[in-house]
């Protein structure tokens, strides 16, 4: 069972849920404790860990804060931010961290930004 999952090419080492569970376990927090600290419901967090729910950037930020880990890691695993080598991630993180934007505005901005990046890389 162990060696099976890691062999898939092009997939991040773990899913967001598996990564979260790993982080939570190493922080020695129960599902309930993390849910409480992140300000989300227990069932909701459980569904995220099992990969049934795709959390918003906002929720990921709260979870990251509760786990004391970088939200960027969670964004990358959730597919919200692409792990770019050109340092493009900082733009995406700045958008996500901006308190003046609504959740919907952030998503729209990121989609536009991603489409520009895709456009530029295809022209190169």
- CA–CA dist 19, 74 (Å, integer): 8
For residue 3, what pLDDT is reported? 44
| Terminal alpha carbon distance of the chain | 42
Average pLDDT, stretch 5-9? 43
Long-range contacts (CB closer than 8 Å, 24 or more residues apart) made by 19-22: 19/73, 19/74, 19/77, 20/48, 20/49, 20/63, 20/67, 20/74, 21/49
DSSP 3-state of 43: helix
For residue 69, what pLDDT is reported? 87
Report the range out of 4-13, 35-44, 49-58, 103-112 with the highest average pLDDT.
35-44
- Given a cut of 60, whether residue 9 has pLDDT beyond it is no
* Domain 12-123 belongs in CATH node 1.10.260.40: yes
pTM of the model: 0.64
């Amino acid at each position: 069972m162990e060696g099976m999952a890691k062999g898939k090419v092009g997939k991040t080492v773990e899913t967001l849920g598996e990564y979260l569970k790993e982080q939570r376990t190493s922080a020695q927090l129960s599902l309930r404790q993390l849910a409480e600290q992140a300000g989300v419901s227990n069932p909701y967090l459980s569904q995220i860990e099992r990969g049934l729910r795709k959390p918003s950037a906002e929720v990921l930020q709260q979870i990251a804060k509760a786990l004391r880990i970088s939200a960027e890691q969670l964004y990358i695993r959730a597919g919200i931010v692409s792990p770019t080598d050109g340092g493009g991630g900082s733009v995406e993180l700045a958008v996500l961290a901006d308190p003046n934007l609504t959740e919907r505005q952030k998503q729209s901005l990121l989609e536009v930004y991603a489409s520009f990046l895709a456009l530029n890389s295809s022209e190169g």
